[in-house]
Amino acid sequence: MLLGVNIDHVATLRNARGGVEPSPILAADFCEKSGATSITTHLREDRRHIKDEDVYTLIKTIKTKLNLEMAMADDIQKIALEVKPYSICLVPEKRMEVTTEGGLDVAGQLEKVTEFIKPLLDAGIVVSLFIDPTEEQVKASAKTGATFIEMHTGAYSEAFGTDREEEEFMKLKNSAKLAQSLGLTVNAGHGLNYENVSRMHEIDGLYELNIGHSIISRAVFTGLAEAVTKMRDLIK
């Protein structure tokens, strides 16, 4: 499996003081040098952490791949078409949420999602859909033209170590198998940490994990290079 590192919360810390430190640009460089195979940023509509200028700088400086998380917003789509990251991941977005809550309801807005991602696909950008691990959402995703899905691992992460763990894990495993049978490449992420990530090895064909909060949290104590290297070693 590959490791994509989300650097949003480096920007969150920077914005707490309104200055320039710590730099998410420098953080991306540290992550890449420590084994990250892609850098993920979420350009939210309220710009609460990553700013437009961060995205425009990152596309010029990173040496791996830029994965831009985004909602179905016209202004963000415009930026994506200008910047042309390697990939975008379409996510749901609510103004009052602390972090992304739940997957994108592709099945409930199939036509809208399909129309929104078409210009991105036409521009040569890889499109991934962040969805809950259900049969309905996987099958709908396969109809949109997207070539990737990212399974929302939040329910599994919360259930880890409880009597619900196996049930939530099997949802991921079964959804990944179905997605691959439909021609989709499968990523996963949300809430994964140094303890619960180990079971991702049990999901055949999982391509990349996108992990941010736990890596940045560990980096506070151990440094960013060690935190990325440790996670990379766990998912090899």
Tens of pLDDT, residues 132-142: 999 999 999 99
Tokens 């691959």 locate to 180
- Long-range contacts, stretch 94-101, CB < 8 angstroms, 24+ apart: 95/45, 95/46, 99/213, 100/42, 100/130, 100/190, 101/154
3-state helix, strand, coil in the chain (%, to 5): 50, 15, 35
DSSP code of residue 187: E
Mean per-residue pLDDT, 43-72: 96
Mean per-residue pLDDT, 121-126: 98
Mean per-residue pLDDT, 163-168: 98
Tokens 């999982």 locate to 206
Tokens 């592709």 locate to 106
So what's the pLDDT on residue 94?
63
So what's the pLDDT on residue 95?
57
Mean per-residue pLDDT, 17-22: 92
Tens of pLDDT, residues 168-217: 999 999 999 999 999 999 999 999 999 999 999 999 999 999 999 999 99
- The CA dihedral of 115, 210, 41, 13, to the nearest 10 degrees, is 150
So what's the pLDDT on residue 93?
79
Q: Which residues contact 202 (CB under 8 A, 6 or more apart)?
A: 169, 173
DSSP code of residue 198: G
So what's the pLDDT on residue 99?
55
Active site residues: 42, 69, 190
pTM score of the predicted model: 0.94
Mean per-residue pLDDT, 23-30: 97
Query: Any idea where the domains of the chain sit in the sequence?
Result: 2-235
So what's the pLDDT on residue 96?
56
Tens of pLDDT, residues 151-160: 999 999 999 9
So what's the pLDDT on residue 102?
86
Domain 2-235 coded CATH 3.20.20.70: yes
So what's the pLDDT on residue 156?
98
Tens of pLDDT, residues 60-114: 999 999 999 999 999 999 999 999 999 999 999 765 555 556 899 999 999 999 9
